[in-house]
Structure formats: C-alpha cells, structure tokens
Amino acid sequence: MVPLLAIGLGKEAPAQDLTAIIENTVINKNIFVGMNFGNKPMEQLYTTFGNKHLAFGTWCSYSLKDMKMQEVDYYLSSPIKVNKHLTLEPGAGHYTFPNTEDEDAQELYLEARTVGLPFDYYLLLGKAFGPVSNYGHIAMVTAKKPFDISKQVKLIPKIEFIYNDHYFTTASGFSHVGTNLALSFNLMKKMSVSATGTYQFHVSDAFEGITLDESYFTVSVTHTF
C-alpha cells in the first residue's frame, strides 16, 4: 500500500518523456506506515511507467519466510507540477492480498513533493475504502536533507510523522515518529543502491502493540530507464 508513479495515456508523449523505474527492496521486518505485521523478512518490488502527465505502477510484497506473495497493488496517478519546487500528485490505488483472508481495498490519495528547498518535504493524504470499517484515513509528513559525500555517494537523514485514523487498523491518533538514515551509492548513471536504517517510537497509547519502539533495515536497488 505505497503510492507509486507510472504509464502515459492521454496525449502521445515523445519517447524522451517516458520514464520507467524498477526498485527491488529487502526489509528485515514486515512494517507498513509504522505498523508491525510480523518480524519476518520481506522482498518488495515496484515498477512504474509514465510521462509527466499520467503514471501507472504496481507494487508487490513477498514473504521470504513463508515463501508466499502477501500483497499486490496497482496505482494510477497524475503528476501536476505547480512550480519548480512543488509537485502535486492525486491518484488511486487498488490493493489485493493473495494467500491471506483479507479482502481487496481501494484508496484515493494526494501526494505533494518539494525539491530545491533547504529540505525535501513529502506529504501524503489518503482515504482507504473496503468491506470493513477499519479502512480509514492517513496523513504522513516527511522531511529529508541529502548530503553529498562524493559524486557517487549521498547520506540522507529523514524524519517522518504519521497520523493514522483507522487506516488498516482499529486504532486512531498520532501513531509514531520515525527517523532514518540512508546511504545511497550511484552504481552507474541510472542505477543506485541504498541501505537504510530506521528507528521509530510510538506516540499514542492507542497504537501500543501495533506500532512498536523498534529499529528495522532495508536495502534497495533502483534502476531508471
């Protein structure tokens, strides 16, 4: 359940305007927006394809412990460049949960991203829909500051705040604050690998046992075409 980018429909775009991204991530715990769904390693793959007007993406999560696919999602969104610093991206997602008893869910969301400011900010507002009552709202804000160590290496500290109102849980409130540090290496012009360590702590007692005070780690390889 991660909003993504991807496919150009609408007006035919010049070839140079089309972009495809593949990212493969391994995470040592099954954590989603701060909620712990099990201390088991997961492999998560997303692909995106699109142009500056419309995007289509898929995201899937595979349990390396159970050797089963746990989630496959599909996204459609439309990036809107407000100015050189701000991009808005409304979108919709359809979420499926194979090999589980969970029913499909849908979401309408709005993302906002900034670039070229002292910090890079990201905002996510989402409303999920589904057959059960605990598909609610989420608001996420992150801020990060990349530091160039060399031409190929960046150090990226980030902090995130999440307000979760029954979003795939029965709890409601400010769920947690997360801090992470990423080290990113450019292997070649359009391929990078990053290693990220995250520590989070829960804020609201309503999320006790759901959002834990814990650390987790991810390794990602990203290729842009």
**Per-domain boundaries in the chain:** 15-224
Note the pTM of the prediction, 2 decimals: 0.89
According to DSSP, the β-strands at 120-129 and 105-114 are antiparallel
Q: Which of 128, 2, 131 is nearest to 61 (CA)?
A: 2
Is 3.40.50.300 the CATH classification of the domain at 15-224?
no
Q: What is the residue-level pLDDT of the chain in tens, covering all 225 positions?
A: 654 433 333 334 444 588 999 999 999 999 999 999 999 999 999 999 999 899 999 999 999 999 999 999 999 999 999 999 999 999 999 999 999 888 899 999 999 999 999 999 999 999 999 876 568 999 999 999 999 999 999 999 999 999 999 998 889 999 999 999 999 999 988 999 999 999 999 999 999 899 999 999 999 999 998
Q: Contact 107/130 with Cβ under 8 angstroms?
A: no
Query: What tens digit of pLDDT does each residue of 116-154 get?
Result: 999 999 999 999 998 765 689 999 999 999 999 999 999
Torsion of CA 71, 76, 81, 87, to 10 degrees: -20
Contact 123, 97 (CB under 8 A): no
Amino acid at site 187:
L
Radius of gyration of the chain (CA): 17
The distance of Cα 36 from the centroid of its chain, to the nearest Å, equals: 15
Which residues contact residue 2 at a Cβ distance below 8 angstroms, ignoring those fewer than 6 apart? 46, 59, 73
CA distance 40 to 216: 11
What is d(CA 41, CA 32) in angstroms, rounded to the nearest whole number? 13
